[in-house]
Amino acid sequence: MHLVGLGPAAPYRAFVDTYREVWPRHATEAGRLNPHVARPRVAINRQVVIADTDAEAEAIVRAVHPRWAASFVKLWVEHGDTAFAHRADLDAALRAETILCGSPARVRAQVARLLETTGVDYVIACFAWGDLTFEQSLRALRLFATEVMPAFRT
């Protein structure tokens, strides 16, 4: 199976390394569910907001994050469980770069660090989340496609 995860980059590297170490031992098992996959790919998820400047992108993230955060922890909160509330902490997410946010140059640097730190094959980027408008999401996607992705063609 392919592997996809989320969370801070440094701890995720342990999952990636363990997966890549263990997988070859099971690659030829008769009961394998995906024998057509020669080498499983490993990814990590990230929410992304890109704007012309770092300040503009951060302002957008700060405006849209509360709705996403409330949705993320909704069921836990409704059942009196606050143990996961820290996972919706915006400042922690920005520090850990679990939300990629900034100008195209800044996001390019964040993606480079993410790939280097985690060892993943690719990043799954979410451009529509929280209260982002269609226009904000589309603008971020276009900037990502034209100004971030070309740096990673190799």
Q: 3-21+36-152: what CATH class?
A: alpha beta
What is the pLDDT tens value at each position of the chain, 154 positions in all? 788 998 999 999 999 999 999 988 888 888 888 888 888 899 999 999 999 999 999 999 999 998 887 888 778 888 888 777 777 788 999 999 999 999 999 999 999 999 999 999 999 999 999 999 999 999 999 999 999 999 998 7
Residue-level pLDDT at 87:
75
Domain spans, the chain: 3-21+36-152
Q: Are 6 and 44 in contact (CB under 8 A)?
A: yes
The pLDDT tens digits of the residues spanning 13-40 come to 999 999 999 988 888 888 888 888 888 8
Query: pTM score, two decimals?
Result: 0.89
How many Å is the Cα radius of gyration of the chain?
A: 17
